[in-house]
Amino acid sequence: MGEWITQWRVEFLGREWNFVDIGSVAVVFSLHCLTLLAPFHFNWPAFWVAVALYFVVGVSVNLSYHRQLSHRSFKLPKWLEYFFAYCGVLSFQYDARLKNVGDLKRDPFYRFLHYTYPLHAISFGVLLYAVGGLPFLVWGLGVRSVIFLHATFGINSICHTWGQQVWNTGDLSRNNWLIGLMAHGEGWHNNHHAFEYSARHGLEWWEIDVTWYVIRFLQIIGLATEVKLPTETQKKRKALFISNNLNNKISELEEKLETEINNGKI
């Protein structure tokens, strides 16, 4: 049944769509429509619920899906690992990436999330409505989800177009401070491409990385272990200015050699 859902295709707008694609578009569209109601259903409790969930759910996606499960940047006790993974499910950004991390397929908890993840986010919306009515649903589910979805989308678009390149990564990745703030540290994308294994993306003190602050706190109290960070030697090897200087020296030597050949000295 699961294979049929993903293999079924229909062509529309110049591309092929399966049920997952159509469902994703429907969910994103519905969330945007829900967000349009925000000015008409504002109250302060709903606003602060949205702020709290933006932090908890957003950090959980980064910390669990990306830095721990995808890149193995650190380890957590299973109960805490599962907690962050579950909170990540509430982000409408799929489950914990079974296709990218094959060993998760053998874990019953992650298999459960994989097959049921839409139900958890929808049920959470029902809970929000039951607790605080339409304002909680609009702000706690709609506004919070839409802003973080666009922050996530910005990592793969804005962070490859605008920002600074500090490290020689051989690609278009950039550090973008705005996405860094919106996506809890994921916007320091050039840093991440340079050191994918690093639990810390904001490598400078002024590069705000909220996800790293949570990991660091968990490390201090003994819950996060085997936390990986780039060494100074590794940083020097990747430093862009060193690479540029080396390239300049090579160019100077090539020009000098060519001049001497043309002058008959070699």
Cβ–Cβ < 8 Å for 139, 49: yes
Cβ–Cβ < 8 Å for 222, 215: no
**Whole-angstrom Cα distance, residue 93 to residue 64?**
12
Residue with tokens 């090897």: 237
Distances (CA, A) of 226 to 83, 84, 102, 103, 206: 19, 18, 21, 19, 24
**Where do runs of H (alpha helix) occur along the chain?**
2-7, 19-35, 44-60, 78-89, 108-137, 144-156, 177-182, 189-194, 210-220, 232-238, 240-262
Rg (CA), the chain: 23
| 12 phi, psi to nearest 5 deg | -160, 135
Neighbours of 167 (CB within 10 A): 23
**Whole-angstrom Cα distance, residue 113 to residue 104?**
11
**Whole-angstrom Cα distance, residue 53 to residue 248?**
49
From 242, 187, 241, 239, select the one nearest 210 (Cα to Cα). 187
Cβ–Cβ < 8 Å for 57, 91: yes
pLDDT tens for each residue of the chain, 266 residues long: 445 455 666 776 677 777 777 778 889 999 999 999 999 999 999 999 999 999 999 999 999 999 999 999 999 999 999 999 999 999 988 777 755 566 788 899 999 998 898 899 999 999 999 999 999 999 999 999 999 999 999 999 999 999 999 998 999 999 999 999 999 999 999 999 999 999 999 999 999 999 999 999 999 999 999 999 999 999 988 887 544 554 555 555 666 666 666 666 66
pLDDT digits (tens, 9 = 90+) for 179-236: 999 999 999 999 999 999 999 999 999 999 999 999 999 999 999 999 999 999 999 8
**Whole-angstrom Cα distance, residue 101 to residue 69?**
7
Kind of pairing between the strands at 15-17 and 10-12: antiparallel
Token output for 195: 């050191």
